[in-house]
A and B are shown apart, each in its own frame.
Chain A
């Protein structure tokens, strides 16, 4: 059995020396891989020799287990190199089986994140070098998790910031460094159990609307789909005059082009539309006018996490859909950007005439009743009413209202019931189920976890760190399309505060429809808690 603590290294400081000699290394091939089972514990120490002996035995076994060093065949090790400036490990030899669930590619190279590299070093699959010398696990911990490096938290925060800059939003809050060791503990714990754990990336959480649309998953450039060219998403400056219309016109959410209703029916704004159109389609953009493209191009400076596929490229705010039925529509639509078209297809300017002819542009002729309804539907100033103007006092006004009410046949609302301070709850025939009635008399409404969560700003110190996928999905797991995670983790400790409702709502909103689990770390014990939404049952027979 190979033992350590024998040879002293030949370097000047024999401060750390647990090196194995070559004969020990060779003999390590025949080491057992089984862990002896621990026996039953005893209750009370009684100073007997038997107990002492058992204790000694357990201790010896314990020491032999933890002092064992990792010995691997050189051919089975994947060689990696630590890049301090980017805080990743570059693999110099081809990755092994772990590549299916860990690591990412960039510029043709295979890279590992620091926590993944540490876990693989501990498993004995990867040997990491720095400037051609191998790193020990201790050095790995100290370098990959040190305060000076951009650790787990900052890495995410920085990339989240770059992503958010394009959308022009929230202020940034850096999270204190202390939690890197806890995050590593949680990561290793789950990886050892077989889960697939990856870093949480906010940009890959589909919004509620996207989930409703139920879009098919995008393929990432394999196969027959034409490769769309991707560009940097537009910055937030716009030439003057375009700002208002363009900004409003691009709300795709809600599924309707509310944009065009925002265009008043005077000419000025209507004219800005064709310009907005031209803006979108202009291929050679002159310098000074920012590009506005609603597809996002990839490139070295794509501000998204490198570990995620680049398929969330739609920038919804910049899509315009022209309203052809509007009062003043442009005579022609500009030609589409040739970079969007397959092959050598070229499409010219689209004339609107034939299309408009197919639309029904006849003015609507409403019957009198419909006109009245239209008129009464929109809010009118009460003073416009001629009869009201004739009233000279409040009493006359009340009388007028009573007369109108009676005239309009509201006889099923008797005055003695409906005119007092206390009015009936329901009209007969209005609500027919017990559930409806209970809703009306309810004092406290039901509230769900995600109510009011959309507008919350990020809480200090609370953030989702990891996505966790179940172990039985490992066989079909694909890094390019991992699918919906089993849960998302937020790492905290027993010494910190318990998450309050605000934090819960904010994290649940960030996570979309995946439940959030809190991994509470306490010096080696990790407990997992999650908060579930709960509805009180209502007692109706329907």
Chain B
């Protein structure tokens, strides 16, 4: 099943409750377990949900797991030691069924079935008893009928197999065939590829350290949306655009950005990492008239 990773992956999620398992699906970092999503949010990483919501899958307003992370978010978690990066390759197609696992699964299903049928029987009995209790003042015939039904329930209750409830797990349940290789990736697999990505990461880290929450800003024409508090309750204040320090920005672009900011009532923030390792410089744009 799940192979062991390298020895330095000591942050085994099972043992250390503060770490999350970031699973890569084709170079996109995803969080699958609900506990991981919660832990990540506590460290300030918000992410975007991209799956269907279990309760109502056919709508787009509220989505469910998996939670997709930005590269910067995954890197932040990894650098802080709060994440284990995993990447799995698919099992070989020539693999055969493992009879032991299949038997285990069958046993689980059978046990679940028997428990559920007992519960169903008890549930039905409880309903009948409640009806009887309500009808205490009722006539004798109905009482007798109910008694008969109770007896019948004891003897001839059937719970069809098709009525059994079955769980469709979201995250890997550990029941099926694990991938051939569950690789633990090094943190530097997330390192930036070019200057712009490095700028983005530094800005992200700095804003995060100042206590802001960040999400993607693609629909506002920027890199990040900056919230003063949790995005669930507050509106974004800034649109952050990350640029390397010496990159030239044409006037047309500046005008477009400030127009955009004025229209959506958010302040545009031009962010550049400075010369010092932890220094990030911010410039805000405001469109104002001549006084």
**Which A residues are within 8 Å of any B CB, using their own CB?**
4-5, 9-20, 22-23, 25-26, 28-29, 31-33, 35, 38, 41-45, 51, 54-55, 58-59, 62-63, 65-75, 77, 84-85, 119, 121-124, 127, 130-139, 141-143, 145-149, 177-178, 180-181, 185, 188-189, 192-194, 494, 522-525, 527
Contacts and interface: CB of A to CB of B under 8 A. Distances in A.
Interface stretch (B49-57, B132-140, B247-255): B49-57
Contacts of A523: 48, 68, 70, 216, 218
Given A15-B174, A181-B28, A25 B166 contact: yes
Contact of B218 (A119, A131, A149, A494): A494
Given A42-B233, A66-B53, A189-B60, A26 B119 contact: yes
B169 A142 contact: no
Contact of B165 (A10, A71, A142, A147): A71
B21 A15 contact: yes
A127 B233 contact: no
A45 B174 contact: no
B97 interface: yes
Contact of A5 (B27, B34, B123, B218): B34
Contacts of A67: 34
A73 B162 contact: yes
Interface string B147-170: 000000000000011111111111
A137 B102 CA distance: 19
Interface in B2-51: 2, 12-14, 21, 23, 25-28, 30, 32-35, 37-38, 41, 48-51
Given A55-B232, A177-B26, A527-B219, A9 B90 contact: no
A123 B98 CA distance: 28
B244 interface: no
Interface in B76-123: 88-91, 93, 95-98, 101-102, 104-105, 111-112, 115-116, 119-120, 123
B62 interface: yes
Given A15-B21, A33-B56, 20 more contacts: A11-B175, A14-B14, A26-B119, A26-B123, A35-B56, A35-B62, A44-B228, A58-B232, A59-B232, A69-B168, A74-B162, A74-B163, A75-B160, A85-B93, A123-B57, A136-B175, A136-B176, A138-B170, A523-B68, A524-B49
Contact of B57 (A32, A192, A494): A192
A180 B116 contact: no
A149 B90 contact: yes
Nearest to B37: A66
23 contacts: A5-B34, A15-B12, A19-B173, A25-B165, A25-B167, A26-B123, A33-B55, A35-B55, A35-B62, A41-B234, A58-B232, A65-B62, A66-B37, A68-B54, A75-B162, A130-B176, A134-B105, A134-B169, A136-B171, A141-B30, A142-B90, A143-B90, A146-B26
A225 B173 CA distance: 52
A141 B102 CA distance: 22
B209 interface: no
Nearest to A25: B165
A146 B170 contact: no
Nearest to A179: B26
Nearest to A76: B162
Contacts of B75: none
A75 B162 CA distance: 4
A13 B174 contact: yes
Contacts of A145: 25-26
Q: What bracket does the count of chain B residues touching chain A fall in?
A: 35 or more
Nearest to A148: B90
A22 B119 contact: yes
A181 B26 contact: yes
B57 A11 contact: no
B33 A18 contact: yes
B179 interface: yes
Contact of B90 (A45, A77, A146, A189): A146
Nearest to B25: A141
A11 to B, nearest CB: 5
Contact of B171 (A18, A132, A178): A18
B89 A148 contact: yes
A5 B56 contact: no
Given A72-B165, A137-B170, A181-B25, A525 B218 contact: yes
Given A70-B167, A178-B26, A192-B58, A524 B50 contact: yes
A319 B70 CA distance: 57
Contacts, number: 277
A132 B102 contact: yes
Contacts of B54: 68-70, 124
A26 B66 CA distance: 25
B172 interface: yes
A43 B162 contact: no
B130 interface: no
A138 B233 contact: no
A75 B168 contact: no
B175 A9 contact: yes
B27 A178 contact: yes
Contacts of B288: none
A518 B37 CA distance: 31
Contacts of A524: 48-50, 63, 68, 216
A9 B101 CA distance: 13
B287 interface: no
A525 B219 contact: yes
Contacts of A185: 50
Nearest to A4: B34
A45 B234 contact: yes
B1 A16 contact: no
A123 B55 CA distance: 9
A185 B232 CA distance: 22
B116 A131 contact: no
Contacts of B32: 16, 138
Contact of B111 (A16, A22, A85): A22
A65 B232 contact: no
Contacts of A26: 115-116, 119-120, 123, 165
B68 to A, nearest CB: 6
Nearest to A45: B229
Contacts of B124: none
A20 B235 CA distance: 36
B170 A70 contact: yes
B177 A131 contact: yes
A51 to B, nearest CB: 7
Contacts of B164: 73-74
Contacts of B26: 145-147, 177-178, 180-181
A19 B23 contact: no
B46 to A, nearest CB: 11
A181 B105 CA distance: 30
Contacts of A123: 52, 57-58
B256 to A, nearest CB: 14
A132 to B, nearest CB: 5
B65 interface: yes
A142 B21 contact: no
B59 interface: yes
A136 B168 contact: yes
A131 B96 contact: yes
Contacts of B91: 84, 130, 143
B68 A45 contact: no
Q: Which 3 A-B pairs have the closest CB atoms?
A: A75-B162, A522-B218, A524-B48
Contacts of B234: 41-45
Contacts of B96: 131
A192 B61 CA distance: 10
